[in-house]
Amino acid sequence: MTAKGHLVDAAVVGAGSWGTALAHLLHRNGHCVRLWSYEEDLARSIEELGENQSYLPGIAFPPEIRVSNQLDEVVSGAELIISVSPAQFVDRVMREAAPAVDPGALVVSASKGIEIPTLRRMDEVLEEIFSPHMAKRLVVLSGPSFASEVAGGQPTAIVAASESAEARLEVQRVFRSPTFRVYTNPDVVGVGLGGALKNVIALASGVCAGLDFGHNTQAALLTRGLAEITRLGVAMGAKTSTFYGLAGIGDLVLTCTGELSRNRMVGTRLGRGESLETILSEMTAVVEGVRTTFAAHELAKRFEVEMPIVSQVYAILKEGKAPLDAVGDLMLRDPRSESDSTV
What is the per-residue pLDDT across 20-65, written as a single tens digit (0 to 9) for each? 999 999 999 999 999 999 999 999 999 999 999 999 999 999 999 9
Question: Could you give the CA distance from residue 338 to residue 334 in angstroms, rounded to a whole number?
Answer: 12
What is the per-residue pLDDT across 307-335, written as a single tens digit (0 to 9) for each? 999 999 999 999 999 999 999 999 999 99
Active site residue 198: yes
189-331 topology per CATH? N-(1-d-carboxylethyl)-l-norvaline Dehydrogenase; domain 2 (1.10.1040)
Amino acid identity, position 262? R
Q: What is the dihedral of CA 267, 265, 189, 111, to 10 degrees?
A: 130
CA within 13 Å, CB half, 283: 14
Strand partners, 67: 35
The one catalytic residue in 112, 136, 198, 301 is 198
pTM of the model: 0.94
| CATH 1.10.1040.10 in the chain, residue ranges | 189-331
Question: Could you give the CA distance from residue 136 to residue 193 in angstroms, rounded to a whole number?
Answer: 18
46: left (phi over 0), alpha (psi -120 to 50) or beta: alpha
Question: Could you give the CA distance from residue 143 to residue 137 in angstroms, rounded to a whole number?
Answer: 19
Q: How confident is the model at residue 163 (pLDDT cuts 50, 70, 90)?
A: very high
CB crowding 156-166: b at 16 or more within 10 Å, else e: bbbbbbbebee
DSSP letter assigned to residue 141:
E
**Residue 87 burial (C-beta neighbours within 10 Å; 0-12, 13-18, 19+):** buried
What is the per-residue pLDDT across 248-292, written as a single tens digit (0 to 9) for each? 999 999 999 999 999 999 999 999 999 999 999 998 888 999 999
Rg (CA), the chain: 20
Mean pLDDT for the stretch of residues 71-77:
97
May I ask the CATH class of domain 9-186? alpha beta
Q: Could you tell me what percent of the chain has a pLDDT over 70? A: 98
Question: Could you give the CA distance from residue 194 to residue 177 in angstroms, rounded to a whole number?
Answer: 24
**Residue 188 burial (C-beta neighbours within 10 Å; 0-12, 13-18, 19+):** buried
Whether residue 4 has pLDDT greater than 80: no
Question: Could you give the CA distance from residue 241 to residue 264 in angstroms, rounded to a whole number?
Answer: 25
- Shortest CA distance to 194 belongs to which of 144, 257, 149? 144
Q: Is the peptide bond before 117 cis (omega within 30 degrees of 0)?
A: yes
Other beta carbons less than 10 A from residue 257's beta carbon: 14
